[in-house]
Amino acid sequence: MSTAAAPAYLKKVYTTEVNKGKAVFAIFPGLCKGCGLCKEKCPEGALSWSEKLGVYGTPTVTPDPELCKACGICERVCPDCAIAIIRVDKEK
């Protein structure tokens, strides 16, 4: 799906480089309802509440780039598919 065809609530995304630049943590505030399940299940305790608001006016999460290992547990447990972990292959 191209960005032009995506619904407006999916066009806004906040990204943070994590795991020493080997991955990108992306949060879609238009999907996040602020339930905190991702925060609760993170084995590294790398997620905290953000100043950015989600779909219901509740805070979204943001990762600590130093603690996040890009394991993807937050992405898998999110009931709203509001998180994406994107692996980055850096050329040698």
32-83, pLDDT tens digit by residue?
999 999 999 999 999 999 999 998 999 999 999 999 999 999 999 999 999 9
How far apart are alpha carbons 86 and 83 in whole angstroms? 10
Helices of type H across 6-85:
8-11, 37-41, 73-77
Q: Examine residue 48 and state whether it is found in any structural domain, yes or no.
A: yes
How many domains does the chain contain in total? 1
Q: How many helices (H) and strands (E) does the chain have?
A: 3, 5
pTM for the whole structure: 0.85
Confidence at residue 1, expressed as pLDDT on a 0 to 100 scale: 46
Q: Is residue 92 part of a domain?
A: no
Provide the domain limits for residue 51: 3-87
pLDDT in the model for residue 11: 78
Strands 83-87 and 23-27, by their bridges, are antiparallel
Statement: residue 87 has pLDDT above 90: yes
